[in-house]
Chain A
């Protein structure tokens, strides 16, 4: 059965696109058919993070407007045969995304893929609303920082009222993905702890992604972190999160970098 997953947050820069790419790739690694869809019209970046920026011909708006077929706009990943990217338009206006058009494209994507992962734009405007509109499951990406937690709370309220599922009176499944977490700083009382954020937002935890150099390295080379540096702490955290989405029970840990003795002695701390 196909699942539509929205990756959303309200606040910008918390890691929606990184998480979309990482989780999309992690799901595709187990052989499932996955489409990652960029809803950030005018500021597309998922193509760049996935390393597909030079292969964009048609985009989501072309498909929504009926100017291109879905198959023409989907870009197959170079590393995984079952992973596809549907880029957003860079030049068109977000108003070109019509409610009916998006509904039709989502229906078509559902018929071809096991997972449709929608990368939401920041904010609570039309683009963000359309990205979450048809979702069955939501990942709320949150940084352990006050403004991000507040915006996540707002987005959770919208997931419970503005989605098709919520309007039908059904329960909207939501998961918290805590990103850029620094366990040491949280321990010293300098950063909100996992438990604090969970208590405030009260939605189940999908994963804790530690702050790490590996994330920037991955976006530098245009490859999801779960494919390029699979042994890094964030990659392992994302791989676990993807398995939890599939229904596996995996103990929740904050992965740490695996470092040798010498680098422990002389290594630099990440960020």
Chain B
């Protein structure tokens, strides 16, 4: 610090902080909300499939790609061979 720095107007860093936070949080709020949504979708999709077919929980993958105009949801379900279909309970009782 020199004697001249006394005369210089102090740099204001607060506006930088505000702008950085605004951009960051806009992004984080969306992703936090989306990860909740993806977890929910994954759970429910898995539930529907598991009602009919034996499937390990990690074989259902849900991904979201965010675009400017539209976002795409990618659902990948891997069914292990041979496909073991669950029988309806009524059918089981009759057999």
Assuming the A-B contacts A146-B20, A154-B32, A157-B32, are A186 and B25 also in contact, with contact meaning beta carbons closer than 8 angstroms in the complex?
no
Which one of B14, B29, B36 contacts A191 once the chains associate, using CB atoms below 8 Å? B14
Assuming the A-B contacts A150-B24, A161-B36, are A192 and B29 also in contact, with contact meaning beta carbons closer than 8 angstroms in the complex?
no
Measured CA separation A161–B35 after assembly (Å): 13
Which one of B10, B18, B28 contacts A188 once the chains associate, using CB atoms below 8 Å? B10
Measured CA separation A146–B11 after assembly (Å): 17
**CB of B22 closer than 8 Å to a CB of A:** yes
Q: How many A-B residue pairs have CB under 8 A?
A: 43
Measured CA separation A188–B13 after assembly (Å): 9
Measured CA separation A199–B19 after assembly (Å): 11
Chain A residue at minimal CB-CB distance from B18: A196
Residues of B contacting A189 in the complex (Cβ-Cβ under 8 angstroms): 10-15
Q: Say yes or no: A190 contacts B21, CB within 8 Å.
A: no
Which one of A145, A161, A193, A200 contacts B25 once the chains associate, using CB atoms below 8 Å? A200
Residues of A contacting B12 in the complex (Cβ-Cβ under 8 angstroms): 188-190
Chain B residues 18 to 75 lying within 8 A of chain A, measured CB to CB, are 18, 20-22, 24-25, 28-29, 32, 36
Residues of B contacting A240 in the complex (Cβ-Cβ under 8 angstroms): none
**CB of B1 closer than 8 Å to a CB of A:** no
Q: Say yes or no: A192 contacts B17, CB within 8 Å.
A: yes
Measured CA separation A193–B15 after assembly (Å): 9
Chain A residues 155 to 202 lying within 8 A of chain B, measured CB to CB, are 157, 161, 186, 188-193, 196, 199-200
Measured CA separation A188–B12 after assembly (Å): 7
Residues of A contacting B24 in the complex (Cβ-Cβ under 8 angstroms): 150
Chain B contact surface mostly: helix
Q: Say yes or no: B14 contacts A157, CB within 8 Å.
A: no
Residues of A contacting B20 in the complex (Cβ-Cβ under 8 angstroms): 146
Q: Say yes or no: A200 contacts B22, CB within 8 Å.
A: yes
Chain A residue at minimal CB-CB distance from B33: A157
Measured CA separation A221–B31 after assembly (Å): 45
**CB of A153 closer than 8 Å to a CB of B:** yes
Chain A residues 195 to 218 lying within 8 A of chain B, measured CB to CB, are 196, 199-200
Known: A189-B14, A190-B10, A200-B25. 6 other contacts (CB 8 A): A145-B17, A150-B25, A153-B28, A189-B13, A190-B13, A199-B18
Closest 7 CB pairs of A and B: A189-B12, A196-B18, A189-B14, A146-B17, A153-B25, A192-B14, A200-B21
24 contacts between A and B (CB under 8 A): A145-B17, A146-B17, A146-B20, A146-B21, A150-B21, A150-B25, A150-B28, A153-B25, A153-B29, A154-B28, A161-B36, A186-B14, A189-B10, A189-B11, A189-B15, A190-B10, A190-B12, A192-B14, A193-B14, A196-B14, A196-B17, A196-B18, A200-B18, A200-B22
Please report B residues at the A interface, Cβ cutoff 8 Å: 10-15, 17-18, 20-22, 24-25, 28-29, 32, 36
